[in-house]
Amino acid sequence: MNLPEGVQYRTVGGERSLATRGPRVSDEPTDGEWRAWSPTRSKLGAMLDAGMETGLAGGETVLYLGAAAGTTASHVADFAGPTYAVEFAPRPVRELVAVARDRDRLFPLMKDARRPETYAHVVEPVDAIVQDVATRGQAAVALKNRQFLTDGGRLLLAVKARSEDVTRDPEAVFEAVTTELAEGYELLAQQRLDPRHEDHLAVVARPR
């Protein structure tokens, strides 16, 4: 399995875990500079832990959509280059800003990921989009933000079935989302993230 440079398996807080090196966030387990990265709290962490080929090598420029309080975005900024973190809910953004204060590569943007035109003047071309937005229209969000990806870039997407339709069979939702996604992306890998993340599909794709 290829982990990005700057991501390692380490024993942190007595347990073997993925870890990145960076300033501590709240009371998370650490070992010196290494911070445990829990795959149960992070879809990207779960993708890496499952051995998915994300294409991340470390040092990339990243657009992170659905950053919430920065649980995962903080780890990404530990091993990546400039990391633009989009989140539209004011409360988590407050925590995200606090997490970013210690990180000179993490740039919080209180924006709606469905409206990339509102941050297009700030975000440079990126090597990877990490998307974890709990919203209906997750394929549309990925397609709208494709404009930021460089030709060889990667979309690392976690699709939450229940955000699309709580009543529909998750497999049918995943089929519909990946079909729509294929309008602008070539799908390279797909994997369910259950049981760590119930009714979530992880997708690795590149722009067509």
Q: Which residues bind ligand SAM (CB under 6 A)?
A: 42, 66-68, 71-72, 86-89, 92, 112-114, 132-135
Residue 156 or 205 with smaller CB distance to ligand SAM = 156
Q: In whole angstroms, what is the distance from residue 40 CA to residue 66 CA?
A: 17
Q: In whole angstroms, what is the distance from residue 105 CA to residue 137 CA?
A: 29
Residue 147 or 186 with smaller CB distance to ligand SAM = 147
Residue 94 or 168 with smaller CB distance to ligand SAM = 94
Both tokens assigned to 181: 């996604």
Residue 142 or 205 with smaller CB distance to ligand SAM = 142
Given phi > 0 = left and psi -120 to 50 = alpha, else beta, which region is 184? Answer: alpha
- At its nearest, how many Å lie between ligand SAM and the CB of residue 29? 16
- At its nearest, how many Å lie between ligand SAM and the CB of residue 208? 23
| Cα torsion through 74, 5, 65, 182, rounded to 10 | -160
- At its nearest, how many Å lie between ligand SAM and the CB of residue 25? 10
Residue 101 or 186 with smaller CB distance to ligand SAM = 101
- At its nearest, how many Å lie between ligand SAM and the CB of residue 151? 25
- At its nearest, how many Å lie between ligand SAM and the CB of residue 130? 8
Sign of CA dihedral 48, 195, 153, 81: negative
Report yes or no: 148 and 137 within 8 Å, Cβ to Cβ. Answer: no
Pairing outcome for strands 34-37 and 7-12 = unpaired
